[in-house]
Structure formats: structure tokens, C-alpha cells
Amino acid sequence: MVKVEPLLAYGARIVGDDARTRIVIDFDRAPDFSIHYIANPERVVIDLPVTAFGFPAGDLSARGLFKDIRYGKMDEDSARIVLTAKKPVKMEVAKVQADEGGKGHRLILDAAMTDKDRFAELVKAQSWNDPSSQQTTSAIPAPERPANGDFIIAVDAGHGGIDTGAIGVDTKTQEKDVTLAFAKALADRLNRESGIKAFLTRKDDSFLSLSERVEIARQNNAGLFISMHADTLKQKDIRGATVYTISDRASDKLAADLADRENLSDQIAGKETVAEPPEVADILLDLTRRETQAFSISLAESVLASFKDQVGTINNPHRHAGFRVLQAPDVPSILLELGFLSNREDEKLLLDEAWRARMADLLTEAVKHYRTAMVANGG
């Protein structure tokens, strides 16, 4: 099969105010595109074939009708632009036209304010078979049949694709790149241990929904799920690692705020999150608590024990909150904040290859200790 070259989006500009806003994006050739509307919050989604976004991020900074603009890869075949609106909007113009200078084509999007009823009609009237609302099967590693006795570990690089995550205070490094580098280092280190088989939920800069990450772990018979993150905080002086486990009640405001931000990942990528009915959500959480929470806590304690006198941690480094990515009912799971990209000293460490390797060693020791304890207890 001939691989299609990605479109190149080489220029962008946005003008307008809170009544009407125009976005123009320059491509090397005419792009196929589709537009959809999503409510709660109001968003406009522009789906594209696989695209390399080559313009400076500042050229498409949110303004006018839009309070947030994200763009990036969704999977191997597609990309997406997500415009989060300040108020209900509609696209009055959405067209592609040739560049007058013969340099390619431009996508022109004219958004105008509308009312809530009209926006609701736009959402209801559209008929779209959104491939991104289905499992991104191209990004899901095929389940491997584990060897007898193999201990399977899912290493999850947080964020990815259109969801960049946090941004470094000095280097402007994106969290999705930090987490992928750490995930690869940890999986490689774990795979050097006899009887341990680690795999990555994502191997490249692709977007995965929170539910897809959980399902990847389950389909691959994972006995552990470790999700890697490097967030930012308003308090720039806070630094150090933190280990989170799931709970229906957050341990503190910092944990609650972090879970709220992480749980918005699907919305950032322009995916409709279908909320479970409260009684179903309670049952799911109860299953998680009953079957795996004790094991998750044991893993968290093993990680923090391995970090002692080796890695700086925040105060009360084991915290808990309602992270959707930790909700597998049958896979003990932790979310590891490696450090904070909002702190200059943490940022330096997060980008240091030697420190990354040391962290991978310590986490591997923690996993081995956890596994030994589980075997000893008949797990």
C-alpha cells in the first residue's frame, strides 16, 4: 500500500471579535475536511487527513469567539482542529480555495455568534460517522499471548496527538513528549527483567481517549497499569514526584484539581464524552475499589519506597482522586506525576536522560517488589 504524504499546513492566521471570527490556514494542497459541532462545552471540530502542522503555535492563538484552539494528530490517517467557543457559534463559511500566488490552497472558516437553540439544532441535525469516536484500533497494540508466568505491564504515556498536555516553563517542552520518552525508557528497562513483559499504550504522537487507554491494558492482559504524567501548577515552587490511585473522594484539592484537568483530555481532543448514569458509575467505581484498589495502593507504596532518599517527592506523595484513566475494574493502576513542568528544577530533571534512566531503574525495582509480595500472598 502506498503511504499518503501528510498535508502540510504551513501558515495560519485568525482575526475577529466576539461576534465574528475568521480563521485561515494555508496548505500545500487542497485538504478534504469535515466540520462537526459538539455541546458541553460548545466546540467546532474540523477533521482533516493526516497533517503536519508547520506554522508557529502563536499564529493560531485563541481570540475572538474562541477561548481555546487545539490541533494535532489523531491517528495514522487523520488530524483534527478543535475550536472551543466562548458562546454558541456556527460556521457561516467553510471552504477551500486556491492560493492566488499558486502556493497551494487555503482553508477559510468564518464563525459567527448564534444562540443556544440554534447551536443545539446544529448538533442534533448533523449526521456524522466520526471514526475518532470509535476505538483507534491502528494505535492499539495487538494483544499478545503472554508466556506462562509472564507479568504483563501497560506503560501509558499521558496525553498525545492533539492533546499536548502541560507546557514547560522554560523550554516550552510539551508534556506529551516528556511522558512518551519516559514511557519508552521504562518499558525498555522492564523488558530486561526475566518474566516481565511491558508494552506501551501509545508508541508515537497519537491521541488515545481515556477509555481506550484502559481498554488497551485489559485487552493485553495487563497485571499493572502505570500512567506517566508531568503536569503544571500555579504554585511554581512546588516540585517533586507524586503517586495517585483512584478514589471516589479526592484526598485534597490539589488531587481533585489534577483529576479534573486530566479527565478533560477527551474534550480537548473534541470527543463527546458519554457520561455513565450515576448508578452505573457507582457500580464501576465500587468494582474498582473492591477488586483492585488495595493492589493499586500496594503498588503506590512500593513506588514511593523505591523513591525514598533517591527521588524528591511532594508532601504527602501518595494521593488519590477520581481519575478516569485508572478505572479498569480488574487492573491495578497508578498515575505517576514524575514532576512538574511548571518548576524550573523539575523541568531540567524531566528532560535529563540520565535522570530518566535512574527513574526507570527505581520503578522497575518497585514493580519487582510488588510482584514478589503478590506472589507471596498467593496473588
In tens, the pLDDT along 173-227 reads: 999 999 999 999 999 999 999 999 999 999 999 899 898 898 889 888 899 999 9
Q: Are 216 and 198 in contact (CB under 8 A)?
A: no
Does the N-terminal peptide bond of residue 41 adopt cis geometry, omega within 30 degrees of 0? yes
Q: What is the pLDDT of residues 133-185, one digit of tens each?
A: 333 333 445 555 566 678 999 999 999 999 999 999 999 999 999 999 999 99
pLDDT at position 2 is: 56
Instruction: Please tell me the pTM assigned to this model.
Output: 0.77
pLDDT means per 10 residues in the chain (379 residues)?
80 90 94 92 93 92 93 90 93 89 89 90 75 38 61 96 92 95 97 94 91 87 95 92 92 92 84 56 55 87 94 94 87 95 95 96 96 77
Query: What domains can you pick out in the chain, each with its CATH number?
Result: 7-125 (2.60.40.3500), 151-377 (3.40.630.40)
pLDDT at position 66 is: 95
Q: How many residues does the chain have?
A: 379
131: exposed, middle or buried (Cβ count in 10 Å: 0-12, 13-18, 19+)? middle
pLDDT at position 40 is: 86
- Please list, in sequence order, all residues whose beta carbon lies within 8 angstroms of the beta carbon of residue 283, skipping any fewer than 6 positions away: none
312: exposed, middle or buried (Cβ count in 10 Å: 0-12, 13-18, 19+)? middle
